[in-house]
Amino acid sequence: MKKLLALFLALMATVGGARAASEGIAWDTFPEKKLTDLAALQHGAKLFTNYCLNCHAAAFMRYTRLRDLGLSDAQIKANLMFNTDKIGETMKVALDAKDAKDWFGGLPPDLTVIARSRSGKNGTGADYLYTYLRTYFRDDSKATGWNNLAYPGVGMPHVLWELQGQRAAVYKEVADDHDPAVKHTVFAGYEQLSPGKLGPQAYDDAVADLVAYMTWMGEPVAQQRVRLGVWVLLFLAVFMVIAWRLNAAYWKEVK
């Protein structure tokens, strides 16, 4: 019951962010082929444990579940476990709630089902996360020094900045379509301030791997469920034909 309550509170903490995320810029389309690519999912798990699990927990995900991605216990312990020595433990963090409030204004939300909770009218939760993690830019007016196009005023700093580098948002004024005298300020791209460890395409690919893992983490059996669902529908279709013919046979003498 305590875990269910904690999950509910974590989801409620993301409601405001999800509402903000449903507005603003259009979301880019997440490459769904990553969801069936074991190498991409393994890389995404590595990025998650190295960059996300420092502050955000995934308290409803056990390290043993990573076996489903083709990883051995030895590989999990050597490369993905930093907060515990027990392979059966959940992905918790050592971040103190008081420190989190002082540093970030609140405890960072649990990410176990983040991809499922962030879907909106602009697309799926994976689309949002894929866009969000690729639209950070420097903003000295913010306490963290960062802002985000997909989530303006975001409180989380850009944890992947070493990979992407530092960028500034560029804006320009354009005339209104109906009244040329009226000007609108629109986003015109980015100015690269410093290079990252990855190029633009490599960074987008890494983010796709990370989002694929977070999507998988929200429902590890999703692919099996889809495959099973196909067989269930085929069974029902065949059974419907059999039931229809049996019904006709039972009632053919009844007038």
Quick one: pLDDT at residue 178? 81
Same domain, yes or no: 194 and 249:
no
Same domain, yes or no: 7 and 130:
yes
Angle at 105 between CA 102 and CA 111, to 5 degrees: 115
* pLDDT score of 163 more than 60: yes
Instruction: Categorize the per-residue pLDDT at 255 as very low, low, confident or very high, splitting at 50, 70 and 90.
Output: low
Percent of the chain with pLDDT over 70: 90
Same domain, yes or no: 48 and 169:
yes
Instruction: Categorize the per-residue pLDDT at 158 as very low, low, confident or very high, splitting at 50, 70 and 90.
Output: very high
Same domain, yes or no: 142 and 67:
yes
52 is in an annotated binding site: yes
Same domain, yes or no: 231 and 215:
no
Instruction: Categorize the per-residue pLDDT at 3 as very low, low, confident or very high, splitting at 50, 70 and 90.
Output: very low
Same domain, yes or no: 42 and 102:
yes
Mean of per-residue pLDDT scores for the chain: 87
Quick one: pLDDT at residue 23? 53
Same domain, yes or no: 39 and 123:
yes
Quick one: pLDDT at residue 168? 96
Distance separating alpha carbons of residues 165 and 196, to the nearest angstrom: 4
The token pair that represents 83 in the structure block: 């907060």
* pLDDT score of 170 more than 80: yes
Q: Total structural domains in the chain?
A: 2
Q: What is the domain range of residue 81?
A: 2-220
- Class of residue 101 by CB neighbours under 10 A (exposed 0-12, middle 13-18, buried 19+): exposed
What are 127-155's pLDDT values in tens digits? 999 999 999 999 999 989 999 999 999 98
Distance separating alpha carbons of residues 146 and 154, to the nearest angstrom: 8
Distance separating alpha carbons of residues 43 and 216, to the nearest angstrom: 13
What are 28-51's pLDDT values in tens digits? 999 999 999 999 999 999 999 999
56 is in an annotated binding site: yes
Helix (H) or strand (E) holding 17: helix 15-21
Quick one: pLDDT at residue 24? 66
Same domain, yes or no: 254 and 202:
no
Percent of the chain with pLDDT over 90: 60
Residue bearing tokens 């900045």: 161
Q: Please count the residues of the chain.
A: 255
Same domain, yes or no: 68 and 86:
yes
Which stretch, 115-119, 165-169, 225-229, has highest mean pLDDT? 165-169
Same domain, yes or no: 169 and 251:
no
Same domain, yes or no: 12 and 105:
yes
Same domain, yes or no: 29 and 155:
yes
The token pair that represents 87 in the structure block: 């392979």
Residue 23: CATH number of its domain: 1.10.760.10
